[in-house]
Chains A and B, each alone.
Chain A
Amino acid sequence: MIELERVSYRYPDGESAIEEVSFSLSPGERVVLLGGNGCGKSTLLKLVDALVVPDSGEIRYCGEVITPRRLRDREWSRRFRGEVGMVFQDPDAMLFNASVAEEIAYGPARLGMPEPLRQAQRWACRFGLERYLDTPPYRLSGGEKQRLCLACVLACGPRLLLLDEPTANLDPRATGWLIDFLRDQPALTTLVSTQNLSLAGEMGERALILDERGKLLFDGPLGEALGCTELLWQANLAHSHRHRHDDGTEHRHVHVHRNWE
């Protein structure tokens, strides 16, 4: 569905963000993008969503190379933006309409879907936002905004969903709801970025791990990645601190919290 081949990207100040990353996503795959702070997870998602252009390498969507020229082709761009949806880490970045109903209806209306407002109602009900249909989005709580963003993107019927740290603003109950929701979408391809190992196992079967220089350290089964402490340590996903025992002895070792219970 989407393929990245030796993609590199530098920030405008010249600092390297992503270095020679290659991978591909097949339809229906659930992939988790792991890495420590500032390793380029968000930038990689933006590259996949064609919001930033790689300095070198190629990104292909359904076999076609994404180029600025292709993105200027209205028909192609319309198809791409309709089929690839991204939920940003900061929900405020995505919300600008006067009411929740208009916010959800925005995408479907631009795609020419029938009865966008009725669809918005349906999606609002599905996401527990039906009480807020006439409320301006900025009045919602962080978790409600996050759900609204997800509703906005899913209302367009995407085939590929990119989620940037989707649980960052969610309380444990809403997190559980999101995990269940994503599990119930077998046809949807998802690429979810997170640094929360205890949730990663619930959000995908395959892992992509970036190191702190934005290089792909690992691409393979998530279980294998979570089982390799050395790999997680390399990617700044494991921590080490001193332990003091009752008998007064102290020792230091690497920790990984893998299970969410």
Chain B
Amino acid sequence: MKDRTLLALWLVAVVAIGFVHDPAWLAALLALALGLMLVLQGGVAWSMAARALAAVALVNVTVSAAYAIWAWTAGESWTTFVLRLNLRVFLLALLALWLTRNIDLVRAVDRWPSIRFLVVIVLGQIRALGRMLAEHRMALVSRSPTRPSLKVRFASAASQVSVALEKTEGRAEALNQGMRARGFFDDRA
């Protein structure tokens, strides 16, 4: 019950945040969310905020810089848009992270078997890929007598992505075949 309520609250919050366009209001909501997390979870809230920031930083900086350059060449103002984008994306990422840490997603959707199947499959894939990427990182450390250069780290990251894509595809195909073999898709025939 608790998981389902929190999931519903999160969904409402996500939709509501989509309707807030004023950066000042978004900043206030962000402060409120961080304040609540600090009260409920203590110091962990800061590490969650840092993780959320790290997760969105690259995309946000790229999009913000691109928009700022375009606005500057077009002679338009860019500050409101960039502030709105960054605050909204950061707030959504923070809430998503908080949600995944605090609820059992499978239990939250157990009333809807089809969604539950999907969630279980996705969580299984995430776990397997997470393990694989951790293994790649360790292998790079193990093979590097000196700190790997940026170029080497990029090459390793590119290889990780390519292996991850290949394995995800292979796993998805195997999963599909496994489900087919167990008659999963025959229910609606």
Binding site for B on A (CB under 8 A): 46, 49, 51-52, 74, 77-79, 81-82, 85-86, 88, 90, 92-98, 106-107, 110-111, 138, 152-153, 156
Contact = CB atoms under 8 A, between A and B. Distances in A.
Nearest to B159: A96
Given A90-B132, A94-B139, A96-B155, A110 B162 contact: no
Interface residues of B, number: 21
A81 B144 contact: yes
A189 B10 CA distance: 55
Interface in B130-180: 132, 135-136, 138-147, 152, 155-156, 158-160, 162-163
A256 to B, nearest CB: 31
20 contacts: A46-B138, A49-B142, A78-B146, A79-B145, A81-B143, A81-B146, A82-B145, A86-B139, A88-B139, A90-B132, A93-B135, A94-B143, A95-B159, A96-B140, A96-B152, A96-B158, A106-B143, A107-B144, A111-B145, A156-B145
Contacts of A85: 142
Nearest to B164: A92
Interface of B: 132, 135-136, 138-147, 152, 155-156, 158-160, 162-163
B126 to A, nearest CB: 14
- Give the interface SS of chain A, mostly helix, strand, loop or mixed: helix
Given A92-B163, A93-B135, A95-B159, A110 B141 contact: no
B145 A107 contact: yes
Given A93-B132, A96-B159, A98-B155, A107 B138 contact: no
Contacts, number: 66
Given A98-B155, A138-B162, A93 B145 contact: no
Given A82-B145, A88-B135, A106-B143, 20 more contacts: A46-B138, A51-B138, A52-B138, A78-B145, A78-B146, A79-B145, A81-B142, A81-B145, A81-B146, A86-B139, A88-B139, A92-B136, A93-B132, A94-B142, A95-B159, A96-B136, A96-B155, A96-B159, A98-B155, A156-B145
A254 B146 CA distance: 49
A89 to B, nearest CB: 8
Contacts of B156: 96
A21 to B, nearest CB: 19
Contacts of A81: 141-146
Contacts of A46: 138
Contact of A74 (B140, B146, B152, B159): B146
Given A90-B135, A138-B162, A97 B155 contact: yes
A51 B143 contact: no
A52 B139 CA distance: 12
Contacts of A111: 145-146
Nearest to A97: B155
Given A90-B135, A96-B158, A107 B142 contact: no
A10 to B, nearest CB: 15
Contacts of B163: 92, 138
A61 B49 CA distance: 38
Contacts of B155: 96-98
